[in-house]
Amino acid sequence: MITSAFHIPRSLGCFRKAGLNVQPYSVDFYSNDRKFDLDNLIVPSASALEKWSLLIHEICGFLIYKIMGFS
């Protein structure tokens, strides 16, 4: 199974629910090198704030898939 790194938990749950034993391969990572300067530790970057919407979307999708019995 090849999918975005964000989708791995939800996709893997669906495949396992269907009885398929797949090997996940993550692509499309959203991480960057960590910077430990004072500015980066105190003031979040705009791109970090944008990625929160992706995280919230995947968490909601994961929970809904669990509730609906898809995974």
17-59 residue pLDDT tens: 999 999 999 887 766 677 777 777 777 777 777 778 888 988 9
Q: For the CA atoms of 33, 35, 41, 45, what is the dihedral angle to 10 degrees?
A: -60
pLDDT of residue 60: 93
Q: Do 57 and 9 contact (CB within 8 A), yes or no? A: no
Domain of residue 41, residue span: 2-68
Decide: helix, strand or coil at residue 36.
coil
pLDDT of residue 31: 66
Q: How many domains does the chain have?
A: 1
pLDDT of residue 45: 75
* Arithmetic mean of pLDDT, 55-70: 90
